Chains A and B, each alone.
Chain A
């Protein structure tokens, strides 16, 4: 079936460290891929997205590249800040599937000064 697998958290980093959160997916067809971020006590916000293979989504210093050959969409940031502390969700959207998002379990990131 269709699914998303994320690396387990929590991920704990010092400020200005490099961040990678791994995400792999299983899907029929050609899904669109998303990263959402959830700050404490809030709903989910779209962070970035990619709609086809080799697309790179980017926003607020975060990047992720849609790798069809490895079915991956890893999230990266070169220098994290304390304000990046949140839960990050990888998700896929199947084409022709009523816009239903399938989420990974989420990865909690904690950044310390």
Chain B
């Protein structure tokens, strides 16, 4: 089915471990995003990408790494997980153009760092 999928949906990891959250979209959208959702903060942008091999920092990038070697994939890596990175992570994508363009979200990845 077409859409945007995230994996894993649920993950528990230990402090200091590396974790990668995967995101795949089938629309060939140019733009992809990673947000984290925390109570009281809404959604905050971690990293975004305008196209393959083009990535840039968002509002809260520290402790995260992204790559985009293919248009359809945008993995997010926590190089050394910390408890403050316990959160729900949402991947999103949108097509080109900016005025009124709709951004579509995946179902989220619930990450707990113990």
Contact = CB atoms under 8 A, between A and B. Distances in A.
B40 A99 contact: no
Interface in A77-113: 89, 93-101, 103-106
Interface in B68-103: 90, 92, 94, 98-103
Q: Which of A89, A95, A100, A105 has the most CB of B within 10 A?
A: A100
Chief secondary structure at chain A's binding surface:
loop
Contact of A101 (B40, B41, B103): B103
Interface band, chain A? 20 to 34
A42 B6 CA distance: 12
Contacts, number: 66
Interface string B48-81: 1010000010100000000000000000000000
A104 B42 contact: yes
A105 B41 contact: yes
Given A32-B100, A49-B102, A98 B48 contact: yes
B101 A93 contact: yes
A43 B107 contact: yes
Interface string B18-33: 0000000000000101
A43 B42 contact: no
B114 interface: no
Contact of A42 (B43, B45, B58, B107): B107
Contacts of A103: 35, 42-44
Given A44-B90, A44-B105, A51-B99, A98 B43 contact: no
Nearest to A95: B98
Contact of B98 (A99, A104, A105, A106): A99
A93 to B, nearest CB: 7
Interface of B: 31, 33, 35, 40-45, 48, 50, 56, 58, 90, 92, 94, 98-108
29 contacts: A42-B108, A43-B106, A43-B108, A44-B92, A44-B105, A49-B102, A51-B99, A93-B103, A95-B98, A95-B99, A97-B98, A98-B31, A98-B48, A98-B56, A99-B94, A99-B98, A99-B101, A100-B45, A100-B48, A100-B58, A101-B33, A101-B45, A101-B92, A103-B42, A103-B43, A103-B44, A104-B42, A105-B40, A105-B41
